[in-house]
Structure 1
Amino acid sequence: MRAGDTVTLPLVGVAPDLMPKEARRAAAPKPEDDRITGTTWQDFTRGKGVGTLNRVDATELGYPGMKIEAVKDGRVVETATADDDGTFSFSSKADGALLRLPAGNFAQPYNGLDWLGPSLVTPAIIGSYIWMWAGFAMVLIAAGLAGMPRELLEAARVDGANEWQVFRRVTVPLLAPVLAVVTVTLMINVLKVFDLVFIIAPGSSQDDANVLALELYRKGFASDQPGIASAIAVFLLLLVIPVMWFNVRRLRREVRR
């Protein structure tokens, strides 16, 4: 598109009674010398043989709030938002660019509970993950505490150590093997977490709560991009290998003892 050109973006698929309340009668774009102007509207008129295809008719409504992007050399150089009558315009920066409607225009907005909306869905998933794995960590740590020699704790107290010093210099070092198992296990599970994000986050919030495993699934099965999915899988493996290596090395040291 060049400055002075006009563009029409007719769309269908929205029932007339579902059009936004602020939608007004669509207006045909008017050319301007230094701008690219256009209209996006509902190109549908009730009645057989009524209305003209790809032309703004008297009873047709514009799409208020529709986002239009001007793309040049693979990047967005300018974004416009349609008015209530569907009209929009770009400055001379969009000269020579292609216009596109971003996918966000057609994504259903989130209408559920706020704690599953874009701003709080990640903390909600984190809370669910902690709740799910806290029992596992507590059982292992409790077993480690139960097997800890009480004589060492009492000896530290007799030597004048306070409770914080006993905890930091005696309890934690003795629990180090157990804490290492818990930490490594949880790190691996965090890296490959998929089910919680997929189940808890609604479709409109999944982009805000996205993780590697979910993106692998979306690219491989939903978007039909197996190459990107394979690359994500390899990257995920590379992230897990150092953690696994640390765990194997720690186990070998314990076996030698």
Structure 2
Amino acid sequence: GDLPAGGLRWLLRQCLAGGKVTGTVWLDFVKGGRSEHNVIDQQEKALSGITVEAVKDGRKVAEATTADDGTFTLPAAADGAKLRLPAANFAQPYNGIDWLGPALVTPAIIGSYVWMWAGFAMVLIAAGLAGVPRELLEQARVDGCNEWKVFRKVTVPLLAPVLGVVTVTLMINVLKIFDLVYVISPGATQREANVLALQLYLKSFGGSPDQGVGSAIAVILLLLVVPVMILNIRRLRRESRR
């Protein structure tokens, strides 16, 4: 199952009683190593609050949580099934800085992304603004337009090509963002900040890899990026014909 490896052994003991599967989850280890394996000694610790799953043919058929003494009871449907302890039982809870907790990890990543790409967008927009003819702006003001109308009716249409480049580039980067999420989010809060590219990596190369699911996520990511690429190619063709 999903039992952790290492010097300490986490053991299940199960039996069939009254049409139900019962058992005990305990730490089969005593300090100093003087204990009999597969036997519950008085000095050994029972594991409470542990989720136990019964799996048949790769499908979970039952689930139970251990009591304070480490015992659990599964329905009769678990008879003959393989028992396992999911890895989530041993995932260390997040006890770090609050702003990286589940509630604020996503805004923290968004802020980092904006900070990283704001310079790129500003440079392109500033270059576009430098190319806007001042005569058109002055003519609009002479005709009675206020600054908001000048911006909306003159400046933005003239900056449309530059804004298109910035928008398309940032959309593609957002769809394939990986490094910021992987580096910033702690392991315990990674699920709350997950994105497609990170899920692709975790499914393909993380624990219990599944290359089929990873390939499916890659295809979905490609299908999301293709329309943006087509839009960008059409825009470049229109500009080249002018």
TM-score by length of 1: 0.77
Corresponding residue to 1:79 among 46, 63, 79:
63
Q: List per-residue Cα deviations over 1:98-138 (Å, max 9, x = no partner).
A: 43211111223323222223332222111100110011111
- Quote how far apart the aligned CAs of 1:238 are: 2.5
Q: How does 1:34-113 map to 2 (within 5 A)?
A: 35-46=20-31, 50-71=34-55, 74-76=58-60, 78-91=62-75, 98-113=82-97
- 1:120 corresponds to which residue? 104
Aligned residues: 235
**Displacement, 1:51?**
3.7
CA shift at 1:256, angstroms?
0.8
Q: Gaps (5+ residues) in structure 2?
A: none
Rounded to whole Å, the distance in 2 between the matches of 1:141 and 1:163 is 18
Pick one of 193, 197, 203 that aligns with 2:177. Answer: 193
Alpha-carbon contact 2:26-2:45 (below 8 Å) kept: yes
Equivalence for 1:180? 164
* CA positional deviation for 1:34: 6.0
Tell me, yes or no, if structure 1 residue 232 matches structure 2 residue 217.
yes
Question: What is the one-letter code of the residue matched to 2:48?
Answer: P
CA distance in 1, matches of 2:8, 2:168: 51
Q: Percent identity?
A: 67
Match of 1:244 among 214, 222, 229: 229
Query: Is 2:165 aligned against 1:214?
Result: no
Give the Cα separation in 2 of the matches to 1:140 and 1:82. 59
Distance in 2 (alpha carbons) for counterparts of 1:34 and 1:144 = 76
CA, structure 1 residues 45+242, in 2 after alignment: closer, same or farther (shift >3 Å)?
same
Equivalent position amino acid for 2:222 in 1:
L
Q: Distance in 2 between matches of 1:181 and 1:84?
A: 60
TM-score by length of structure 2 reads: 0.81
**Structure 1 unaligned regions, length at least 5:** 1-8, 16-27
- The Cα offsets for residues 27-54 of structure 1, whole Å up to 9 and x where unpaired, read as x989763643321111123456x54322
Distance 1:90 1:13 in 2: 28
